[in-house]
Structure 1
Amino acid sequence: MPYQLQCDGCDLEREHADWADANEAASDHEAEYADHWVSIIELQEA
C-alpha cells in the first residue's frame, strides 16, 4: 500500500511504498525541522 508524506511547514510531498519507510522519513524530517509536522496519508491503489 503506498503512503504519501505531507508537511505543514514546507512543500514536502513524497511517496513511499510501505508504512515503515514513510514513518522513518517523516520522523527524520521532523527531527531536522522541529517546527514541522508531517502527516502520513494512505493512498488507495488504482
Structure 2
Amino acid sequence: MVYQLRCDGCDFEREHADWADANRDARDHEAEHGDHWVRIVDLQEA
C-alpha cells in the first residue's frame, strides 16, 4: 500500500509504502511545527 502525507500548514507532502514510517514522519513533522496537522491518506483503490 502507499500512504501519502499531506500537511495543512505547509507544502509538506511525502509518500511511504509502510504505515509505521508514514505515522512516524507525520508525528515528527507535527512535533516540529506545533500548529501543523498532517493527514495520512491511503492511496490504494477500493
Alignment TM class, shorter chain as reference:
over 0.9
Q: Which runs of 5+ in 2 are unaligned?
A: none
Q: Which runs of 5+ in 1 are unaligned?
A: none
Tell me the amino acid that sits aligned with residue 5 of structure 1. Answer: L
Alignment of 1:1-46 (within 5 A): 1-44=1-44
Runs (4+) of structure 1 exceeding 2 A deviation are: none
Tell me the amino acid that sits aligned with residue 36 of structure 1. Answer: H
Structure 2 CA distance for aligned equivalents of residues 9 and 16 of structure 1: 20
Q: RMSD value over aligned CA atoms?
A: 0.9
Tell me the number of residue pairs that the alignment of Structure 1 and Structure 2 aligns.
45
SS for the counterpart of 2:41 is strand
TM norm structure 1: 0.92
TM norm structure 2: 0.92
